[in-house]
Amino acid sequence: MNLFEEITNHYQQALSTMGGSGIDWIDTVFRMCVILLVDLAGLLGISYEEINIWIFVIIWPALTILGLVWIIFLTFRLRKLKIKSGTMRQ
């Protein structure tokens, strides 16, 4: 199997997982994202499925949790500063 056929098979396999939303712009964006993920997976030497796991099961949730922790930390810090400066209404 030559390289072109192998790349085409990766795209076809990834794109075949799409259920088809019936909304053209959503399907187009999805296809563009699939192509990006297939290319990125090839660049990193991993499969399309592995990059999906890394992004959507590991990295994204971790960043969301870290973001929430950071927001909570900053909220408490802001309250503490407002109390010290006496600008917080009681």
The whole-number mean pLDDT for each consecutive block of 10 residues of the chain, a chain of 90 residues, reads: 70 69 83 90 92 95 98 95 73
Note the pLDDT of residue 51.
Answer: 94
What are the two backbone dihedrals, phi and then psi, of residue 87, each rounded to the nearest 5 degrees? -95, -5
Q: HSE, CB side, 13 Å, CA atoms: give it for residue 24.
A: 0
**What pLDDT is recorded for position 3?**
67
Residue 74 has what pLDDT? 97
**Pairwise CA distance, residues 62 & 26, whole Å:** 26
d(CA 67, CA 44): 26
What angle in degrees, to the nearest 10, is found between the helix axes of 3-15 and 24-44? 140
pLDDT at position 39 is: 93
Structure confidence at residue 69 (pLDDT): 98
The whole-model pTM stands at 0.64
